[in-house]
Amino acid sequence: MYQALLVRKYLLSKIMPLLAAAAVLLCTTMVLVTWSVMGGFLNMLVSSGRTMSGDVIVTWPNVGFAHYDDLVKRLESDPMIAAAAPAIESFALLGLANGRKEMVMVRGVEPESYARVTEYDKIQWWRPMDKPLRKDENGDDVRLKQENLDVLNRAVANSQSLTRIDPLTGEAEPAVVMGIEVSGFNARKPEGYYDPQRYIKRDATGSAQPVNEFLPNSGHVVMSVLPLDSDARVVGEQATMKMAVANEFHSGVYELDSKVVIAPLATLQKMLRMDAVKAAKTAPGSDNEDGFATGIGSGASKDTPARVTHVIVRGKADYGKLGTSEPLVDRVRAIYAEFEQAHPGQVPGTFDVSVLSWEDQNRTLINAVKKETGLVLFLFSLISLTAAFLVLAIFWSMIAEKTKDIGIMRALGASRWGVAGVWLGYGVVIGVVGALLGLGVGTLIIRNINPIHEWLGSALGLTIWDPRIYYFTEIPNALNVSKATIVCLGGVACSVLGALIPSWRAARMDPVRALRFE
């Protein structure tokens, strides 16, 4: 009982303990805000990384595998799986209208099935908008303009079919959907939207001519790929095709938005010679008689079915959290084993083919952010130990000041543990008060971190989070209850840790000497 009374007396009568509580407050706030922002950044990265990858993929790169329609049917008949879609991934050289060449990853898909396993429909950037982005106070985003409504609606429709009507012939021509950063023709504004820019094109004489062209409306690109056989040898010549631009996508991951181009599956199969081929007579000993489907064109010794390099799978459950997709990976691998048994010698083996979760596909990026978050938290936790040293210094000074009081307590029968309990309890109370105040201040900062950042930019010219650099329009501001609890407990632990040595010193005092202390 006397411990509680003394703790209350000391807490309310001295200013120095409040300084210790303030130290705990600041350290708790610092760690909580840092962890929330970095954790929110990781969550945004994870959700963005899944927009184009589905939950699980089955892949045999470059050469691809046949009978994928059967695999898709087997997958979609399983109760764990919502949808599956075939795809091809290959490197390609992209020629842009201003003469620039870009090495990209082209992904051949069927838009309808691809939209069922990914967020394909949601990531199309050029689409009509009713409300401006939060930072776009003036409504300058071209997607808000009524005069652009027809063009934007056509861009959405074209992305859903991966075609675009040729105004000269009136026929639908194959089209691509490029990452918003691929062309370099779009300027990202601090408000978070893109502004289509004029580009410079040089003619035969070398003179520069500015061109004002909106790619999804009339733009074209030239795409070149190299078809390969089953031994990874180039087959024939480089395949080149001029293709219209249907739309541009924004996944939220710069590596995808700057390097990926989506094209029609059938078109890419034909360019890579991975489409179905009817049987034809072939001279003995030719490369086409190896028994493994090469799909290299006319002259195949037997029918060769079409091939893809990927089958993308979307599960029925939510596999969006890290570490939750392993059961689905195991189930897809088991289904592929049955698929291999149904087509012996015609498809890659179960132990050869790669079955990867979305986390495996983005592991490099996710691990980098995890390590960075862990490093920052470790450094800030070391800084937070200053609260423990501050509590130690203040308590050491207070015990020296209260030496006679400690002697009186010991003379009246207080045990060594009882005296130590006074100062440990004091440390707990200071830690709890500081941690709770830190939680309140940290929550207030996290909830209003974007307005605070905007005020710093307008009032002081200090822009820490530039969307053009960090690629997210706003600073993550999600507060996790479990993280907040851990941080608060850590603040209390630092305070108690700082009180340990002074408590041990108070408990070891000789009562006679303490009473004589002046």
My answer on whether 58 and 181 are in the same domain is yes
Q: Examine the domain organization and report whether 36 and 70 are in the same domain.
A: no
- For residue 300, the model assigns a pLDDT of 52
Task: Please provide the DSSP assignment of 194-255 as one string.
Answer: EEE--EEEE-TT--EEEE---HHHH-EEEEEE--B-TTS-B-SS-EEEEEEEEEEE--S-HH
Distances (CA, A) of 351 to 60, 80, 293, 380, 408: 11, 22, 19, 44, 78
Same domain for 11 and 104, yes or no, is: no
Tens-digit pLDDT string for the chain (518 aa)? 555 555 555 555 566 777 788 888 888 888 888 888 877 777 777 777 678 888 999 999 888 999 999 999 999 999 999 999 999 999 999 999 888 899 999 999 999 999 999 999 999 999 999 998 887 888 889 999 999 999 999 999 999 999 999 888 888 999 999 999 999 888 888 788 888 876 666 666 666 666 677 889 888 999 999 988 766 778 778 899 999 999 999 988 888 899 999 999 999 999 999 988 876 554 444 444 333 334 444 445 567 889 999 999 999 988 878 788 899 999 999 999 999 999 998 899 998 899 999 888 877 777 777 787 778 778 777 777 777 888 888 877 777 766 766 676 666 666 777 777 777 877 888 888 889 999 999 899 888 888 887 777 777 766 666 665 555 667 777 777 888 888 888 888 888 888 888 888 777 776 666 566 55
**Are residues 511 and 371 both part of a single domain?**
yes
Nearest to 306 by CA among 293, 316, 291, 315: 293
Q: Supply φ then ψ for residue 413, to 5 degrees.
A: 110, 5
d(CA 438, CA 430) in angstroms, rounded, equals: 12
For 316-347, give the DSSP string.
SS---STT--HHHHHHHHHHHHHHHHHSTTTS
Which CA distances in Å does 154 have to 161, 391, 427?
A: 11, 66, 67
Helix ranges (H only) for 286-413 are 326-342, 358-361, 363-401, 403-411
Q: Which residues contact 492 (CB under 8 A, 6 or more apart)?
A: 24, 428, 431, 432, 435
Residue 356 φ then ψ, to 5°: -120, 140
Q: Which two tokens stand for residue 210?
A: 């500015």
- For 315, 316, 367, 489, the CA distances from 320, given in Å and listed in that order, are 10, 11, 16, 29
Q: Are 499 and 426 in contact (CB under 8 A)?
A: yes
Residue 284: per-residue pLDDT: 47
Residue type, 492: V
What's the pLDDT at 150? 93
pTM of the model: 0.76
Dihedral, CA of residue 40, residue 45, residue 47 and residue 48, to nearest 10: 140
Angle, nearest 10°, between helix axes 481-507 and 416-447? 150
- Same domain for 66 and 8: no
Q: Residue 221 corresponds to which amino acid?
A: V
Asked whether residue 464 falls in the same domain as residue 347, the answer is no
Q: Last residue of a domain, which of 346, 361, 376?
A: 361
Identify whether the C-beta of residue 499 lies closer than 8 Å to the C-beta of residue 427: yes
Coil, strand or helix at 177: strand
Q: Within a 10 A sphere around the Cβ of 50, how many other Cβ atoms? A: 23
Distance CA 420, CA 64 (A): 72
pLDDT value for 201 = 66
245 CA to centre of own chain: 27
Q: What is the pLDDT of residue 279?
A: 67
Same domain membership, residue 335 and residue 447:
no
Please tell me the predicted confidence (pLDDT) of residue 293: 38
- Whether residues 126 and 267 fall in one domain: yes
Domain end marker among 337, 361, 385: 361
In angstroms, rounded to a whole number, what is the distance separating the alpha carbons of residues 481 and 495? 21
Question: In this structure, are 408 and 348 located in the same domain?
Answer: no
Amino acid occupying residue 8: R
Closest to 333 (Cα-Cα) out of 311, 359, 306: 311
DSSP 189: P
User: What count of Cα atoms within 13 Å lies in the side-chain half-sphere of residue 290?
Assistant: 10
Residue at a domain's end among 361, 389, 407:
361
The verdict on 129 and 232 lying in the same domain is: yes
Question: How many domains is the chain built from?
Answer: 2
**Token digits for 113?**
């099935």
Separation of first and last alpha carbons in the chain = 28
φ and ψ at residue 110, rounded to 5 degrees: -95, 115
Residue 489 dihedral angles phi and psi, to the nearest 5°: -65, -35
Same domain, 179 and 297: yes
444 to each of 11, 29, 437, 438, 477, how far by Cα in Å? Answer: 26, 10, 11, 10, 10
- Contact of 151 with 216, CB cutoff 8 Å: yes
- 315 & 278 share domain: yes
CB 253 within 8 A of CB 300: no
Q: Is 56 helix (H, G, I), strand (E, B) or coil?
A: strand
Q: Which of 34, 36, 31, 21 is nearest to 437 (CA)?
A: 21
- Cβ neighbours of residue 198 closer than 8 Å, sequence gap 6 or more: 210, 211, 212, 213
Tell me the three-class secondary structure of 66-124, residue by residue: ECHHHHHHHHHCCCCEEEEEEEEEEEEEEECCCCCEEEEEEEEECHHHHHHHCCCCCCE
Q: CA–CA separation, 429 vs 433, rounded Å?
A: 6
471 torsion bin: left (phi>0), alpha (psi -120 to 50), beta (else): left
Provide the residue range defining the domain that includes 16: 2-45+367-516
